[in-house]
Amino acid sequence: MTFTLKSVLLFTFLLLSCNSGKLDIIADLPNSLKEASAIETVSDSDLLWTIEDSGNKNNIYGLDLKGNIIKDIDITNSSNIDWEDLTSDKQGNLYIGDFGNNSKNRDDFTIYKVSNLKADKTTAERINFILPKKVKPKDFEAFFLSESYFYLFSKENKSSMLFKVPNKMGLHTAKLIKTFNLDGKNHRITSAAISENGKTIVLLNHNKLWKITNFKGDNFLDGTIKELKFEHDSQKEGICFKDNTSVYITDEKNKSEGGNLYTFKIN
């Protein structure tokens, strides 16, 4: 078989273009952020935003692409019961999901809306929700905002649930959209995000992500689901879109491992 230079170059390009599961480290997270549980971009901000989960401060942190804390904002009228994920809207508001429930003893949950990302201290508006009757208590670590609704994914070993909550101040009862199973032995969802064009969803796990496309409306789980495995397993807790073809991912520190900011190609 004869190979031309053109064919060899084409093969090399295709090989390098394939998703290999490689996470590219772009920064170490500060040692002070031992339990970074989310990552999010915000309109009109050059920073990447993160939080820590239960037992830590009720603060949000703005990072540069070198992992330095540029902004540290105290949310004075909040408490960090179990902050787990972040999402944002096109107006530049940041939303904190205080809905972690490892012990399954919470019956009400809070989403904080933060509008001032320039002050050192600020207050937040509250969106509260409860689960529908006959639904057992759930643990949540993942959500995103789309078309005026928050979509929350329960963290389960087997069968998970997708709920929606309106982006309106006050108390709401979450609406169950779908009960679903993802392929694989372990599909506990630790973070979620939707692309700016609204056409792609990613769900994060410690050793993989699921990319969802070709869905209609909020029937997300009826779309095309593709599993993308990572090269290594760590406590990955945060994901957001860098652009429509790649994402940022963070993991928590575990002894000498983790505590990094990564990029990952999904196309």
pLDDT in tens, 189-213: 999 999 999 999 999 999 999 999 9
Is residue 137 scored above 70 in pLDDT? yes
Contact 78, 266 (CB under 8 A): no
Per-residue confidence band for 16, with pLDDT thresholds at 50, 70 and 90: very low
pLDDT in tens, 114-130: 999 999 999 999 999 99
What's the rounded Cα separation, in Å, for the pair 191 and 9? 38
Average pLDDT over residues 40-44: 96
Q: What is the CATH number of domain 21-265?
A: 2.120.10.30
Contact 92, 45 (CB under 8 A): yes
Q: What does the pLDDT read at residue 184?
A: 62
Half-sphere exposure of 58 (CA within 13 A, CB side): 15
Q: What does the pLDDT read at residue 233?
A: 86
Contact 248, 239 (CB under 8 A): yes
Distances (CA, A) of 150 to 32, 52, 193, 245: 30, 20, 11, 23
pLDDT in tens, 218-252: 999 999 999 999 998 899 999 999 999 999 999 99
Q: What does the pLDDT read at residue 34?
A: 79
What pTM value is reported for the model?
0.91
Q: What does the pLDDT read at residue 232?
A: 83
Per-residue confidence band for 255, with pLDDT thresholds at 50, 70 and 90: confident
List the domain boundaries for the chain.
21-265
Q: What does the pLDDT read at residue 78?
A: 96
